[in-house]
Structure 1
Amino acid sequence: MIHELTREQARRIAVRAQLLTEPRPVDLLEVVRHLALVQSDPVKVVAPSADLVAWSRLGSSYVMGDLEALRVAGSLVELDMMLRPAEDIALFRAEMAAWPGPGPLKEWQEGIRDWMLANDECRRDVLGALAADGPLPASKLPDTTIAPWESSGWNNDRSMRKLLDLMVGRGEIAMAGTEGRERLWDLAERVHPATGTVPLEQAVAERDVRRLRALGIARPKSARTPNEPNHVGGAGAPAAIEGVKGRWRVEPELLDGDFAGRTALLSPIDRLVIDRRRMGEIFGFDYQLEMFKPAAERRWGYWAMPILHGDRLVGKLDATADHEAGVLRVDAVHEDGAWTRRMRSAVDDEISALATWLALSVMRGVLPGERQGR
Structure 2
Amino acid sequence: MAAQFGGEPAKDSARVLRRLGLLQLDALRRVDRAHRLTCLARMPANASVESVDGGLWSSGPARAFETWVHAACLVPAEDWPLLRLARAKTADRERKPDEAACAEVLAIVGGSEHGVTIREIEGAGPRTDGWEWSERKRAAEHLLWCGELICSERRGNRRVYDLPERRLPQSVLETELSREAILETIATRVLNATGVATTQDVAVYYNLTTAEAAEGLASCGANPVTVQGWPTPAWTLQKDPPAHQLLPEARLIGPFDNLIWDRDRTRRVHDFDYSFEAYKPAHKRVYGHYVMGVLDTHGRMLGRVDLRRQAGALEVIRSFAEPEVDEAHLAAGVASAVAILTAQMKDVIPSS
Q: Is the 8 A contact 2:9 2:43 kept in 1?
A: yes
CA 1:67/1:317 → structure 2, altered by over 3 Å: closer, same or farther?
Answer: same
Task: Please name the residue that 1:296 is paired with.
Answer: 283
Corresponding residue to 1:187 among 143, 163, 179: 163
**CA–CA distance in structure 2, aligned partners of residues 224 and 127 of structure 1:** 32
**Post-superposition shift, 1:350?**
1.5
**Post-superposition shift, 1:55?**
1.0
**Post-superposition shift, 1:26?**
2.7
**CA–CA distance in structure 1, aligned partners of residues 272 and 197 of structure 2:** 16
CA 1:241/1:227 → structure 2, altered by over 3 Å: closer, same or farther?
Answer: closer
Task: Please name the residue that 2:295 is paired with.
Answer: 308
CA 1:270/1:50 → structure 2, altered by over 3 Å: closer, same or farther?
Answer: same
Task: Please name the residue that 1:121 is paired with.
Answer: 100
Normalising by structure 1, report the TM-score: 0.77
Q: Is the 8 A contact 1:330 1:362 kept in 2?
A: no
**CA–CA distance in structure 1, aligned partners of residues 124 and 264 of structure 2:** 41
Q: Is the 8 A contact 2:321 2:330 kept in 1?
A: no
Corresponding residue to 1:205 among 156, 173, 184: 184
**CA–CA distance in structure 1, aligned partners of residues 124 and 271 of structure 2:** 49
**CA–CA distance in structure 2, aligned partners of residues 274 and 315 of structure 1:** 16
Q: Is the 8 A contact 2:293 2:303 kept in 1?
A: yes
**CA–CA distance in structure 2, aligned partners of residues 142 and 361 of structure 1:** 37
Task: Please name the residue that 2:83 is paired with.
Answer: 92
Task: Please name the residue that 2:236 is paired with.
Answer: 250
**Post-superposition shift, 1:156?**
7.6
Compare 128-137 and 60-69 and name the one that shifted more.
60-69
Equivalent residues, number: 325
Task: Please name the residue that 1:24 is paired with.
Answer: 9
Which segments of 5 or more consecutive residues in structure 1 lack a partner in the other structure? 1-14, 102-108, 146-153, 364-374
2:309 aligned with 1:318: no
Percent of aligned positions that are identical = 21
2:76 aligned with 1:82: no
1:242 partner letter: Q
CA 1:161/1:246 → structure 2, altered by over 3 Å: closer, same or farther?
Answer: farther
Which segments of 5 or more consecutive residues in structure 2 lack a partner in the other structure? none
Corresponding residue to 1:45 among 30, 44, 50: 30
Task: Please name the residue that 2:121 is paired with.
Answer: 141
Corresponding residue to 1:162 among 138, 146, 158: 138
Q: Is the 8 A contact 1:122 1:142 kept in 2?
A: no
CA 1:317/1:357 → structure 2, altered by over 3 Å: closer, same or farther?
Answer: same
Q: Give the 5 Å matches for 1:281-360.
A: 281-309=268-296, 310-322=298-310, 325-337=311-323, 338-339=325-326, 341-359=328-346, 360=349
Corresponding residue to 1:173 among 143, 146, 149: 149
Paired residue secondary structure (1:345): helix
Paired residue secondary structure (1:92): helix
Task: Please name the residue that 1:214 is paired with.
Answer: 193
Normalising by structure 2, report the TM-score: 0.82
Task: Please name the residue that 1:62 is paired with.
Answer: 47
Root-mean-square deviation (Å): 3.0
Q: Is the 8 A contact 2:255 2:261 kept in 1?
A: yes
**Post-superposition shift, 1:22?**
5.4
**CA–CA distance in structure 1, aligned partners of residues 318 and 190 of structure 2:** 34
| Runs of 4+ residues deviating >6 angstroms | 154-157
**Post-superposition shift, 1:142?**
4.8
**Post-superposition shift, 1:27?**
4.4
